[in-house]
Amino acid sequence: MKKRGILNLPISKTLAELGHTDKLVICDAGLPIPQDVNRIDLALKAGTPKFIEVLKTILDEMVVEKAIFAEEIKEISPELLKEVKEALGDITIEFTSHEEFKKSSQKSKGIIRTGEVTPYANIILISGVDF
């Protein structure tokens, strides 16, 4: 049995498979997820688990060089954006339209669906390297 870190097998496996510039998405309960993308569904009920909890857990194990959000989060969910920026620290942040975000998320190595119901609680994490 694993002693610490992420216990969820699909998440642990996906993180181990990431290479430089690969994408991993963490999303709210409503983001459309295509059939052919590695879907890791953690949603239990509305609000569980929370987006920020999942993000912080992933950030503990993943080297991230950049994060991408939908532009709409600035106006619709600024409190969440502030909390996420604090969790990201000095990681570069970019914004794109929600439509472009959805297209880009289709090219990810995995999409982790949370139970979050805050609008635009979606992020694309771009994998970095640890050397």
Q: Tell me the catalytic residues.
A: 20
| Residue 121 assigned to a binding site | yes
Amino acid at site 130 = D
Structure tokens at 44: 């239990």
What distance lies between CA 78 and its chain's CA centroid?
Answer: 17
The answer to whether residues 27 and 122 touch, using CB atoms and an 8 Å cutoff, is yes
| Residue 38 assigned to a binding site | no
CB atoms within 10 A of CB 43: 18
| Residue 120 assigned to a binding site | yes
Beta strand residue intervals within 44-109, DSSP E: 64-70, 92-96
Structure tokens at 48: 């569980």
What distance lies between CA 112 and its chain's CA centroid?
Answer: 6
| Residue 60 assigned to a binding site | no
| Residue 8 assigned to a binding site | no
Token match 């912080």: residue? 56
Residues making up the annotated binding site for substrate are 28, 98, 120-122
Residues making up the annotated binding site are 28, 98, 120-122
